[in-house]
Structure 1
């Protein structure tokens, strides 16, 4: 049975929750406080999850070397860069990126709710980020204990564009690309 794409389920949740949020009486202060509490609890769960993962990463001390070629950002005109790191450092960087992404989402939601007085997005933003956190490769590997093979083999591909519609982009790991980057002298210094 083919699995349903996370982007499709996110879209279905968003459309469904938009209909549900139209029926929520946000003008009632108790309902509004309940929705705010739901949003805060959702974010606390996500931050707690990432904190727990960062502790697991540090305790595992996976010092296996990981080499890959990081593609240049679109339109930058730069060459792809060779990255040599460890699995522990790579996973730590991924957790830091997730923290940053979550904080940006909270800041944007705070602006929309506090300054623009939007309340409907609180409901959707209580569910989608939590769902996305539990679908992340970090959670699959470090919480659910899935082996880092196949799609979970590091370095992980990043989904591109809004809601992942831009296709998968990410580091190149084939031996020829790594050797070409080493010969070209693009990066390669191991971060200590």
Structure 2
């Protein structure tokens, strides 16, 4: 007596759901581990900086040099990533639904772009964030005379670059699947939790087709 195809299909569906749930759980745990590690580094470095004699001009200049050096390392990594993006020049079409701004009653906007353009745009956002961080640190150090954050900001940003999706793909050569599948999922935080499902990028076929039928966006980004 054969097994009903319908029963097999249901069994396969349950198995697929379990696999997805396990995968999602492992991804959440990985993000939590990264956040915990960063917190431990910050707390540890806060204790270390209390013992650094910043009043010594030589020590202060050394810390400044380390901070500048860390930013030069980040800049070099970003330039290398850009070279790799341009070298691959992946023109594969990428479609996804961008979430509407928080508090907006509008539906998400359909974005049609390419892998090359998407990665380049993601890198521009990283550059913008890094420059804003440097500007803020410069204000805190030069105007408000804070020195302790120089040490922490010499470590965390460099660590974040190596943990970033673009670095994993273009420096370490990891396949663009799972958490590295484009469009990248935003890190879960307070703001995204407030937005719920509307705050996440949707790239599934159903969401894309619904946005196309509704005529929400669709212009190709270069």
- Tell me whether 1:25 sits opposite 2:53 in the alignment: yes
Runs of 4+ in 1 over 6 A off after TM superposition: 164-168
Q: Distance in 2 between matches of 1:31 and 1:179?
A: 59
Q: Encode CA deviations 1:101-146: one digit per residue, 9 max, x unaligned.
A: 0000000000000000000000000000010011000000000000
Task: Indicate yes or no: 2:171 matched with 1:143.
Answer: yes
Between structure 1 and structure 2, the one with the greater Rg is: 2
Deviation at 1:160, TM superposition (A): 4.1
Give the deviation of 1:77 after TM superposition: 3.0
- What aligned pairs does 1:63-142 form with structure 2 within 5 A after superposition? 63-142=91-170
1:158 and 2:158 aligned? no
Pairwise CA distance, 1:165: 8.6
1:59 pairs with one of 83, 87, 95:
87
- CA–CA distance in structure 1, aligned partners of residues 165 and 144 of structure 2: 34
SS state at 2:219 partner: coil
- Taking a change above 3 Å as real, the CA distance of residues 13 and 165 of structure 1, as seen in their structure-2 partners, is farther
**Does structure 1 residue 179 correspond to structure 2 residue 209?**
yes
TM-score of the superposition, structure 1-length normalised? 0.93
SS in 2 for 1:177: helix
- Out of 73, 85, 96, the position equivalent to 1:45 is 73
SS in 1 for 2:106: coil
Q: Give me the whole-angstrom Cα distance separating, in 1, the residues matched to 2:76 and 2:156.
A: 16
Q: Distance in 2 between matches of 1:5 and 1:100?
A: 26
Could you tell me which residue of structure 2 aligns to residue 36 of structure 1?
Answer: 64
CA distance in 2, matches of 1:183, 1:86: 21
**CA distance, structure 1, for counterparts of residue 51 and residue 74 of structure 2:** 27
Structure 2, unmatched stretches of 5+, are: 1-25
User: What TM-score results when the alignment is normalised by the length of structure 2?
Assistant: 0.81
Aligned length: 191
RMSD: 2.0
Partners of 1:85 and 1:26 in 2: CA distance: 49
Structure 1: runs of 5+ lacking an equivalent? none
Shift of 1:161: 3.7
Pick closer, same or farther for the CA change 1:182–1:165 going to 2, 3 Å: closer
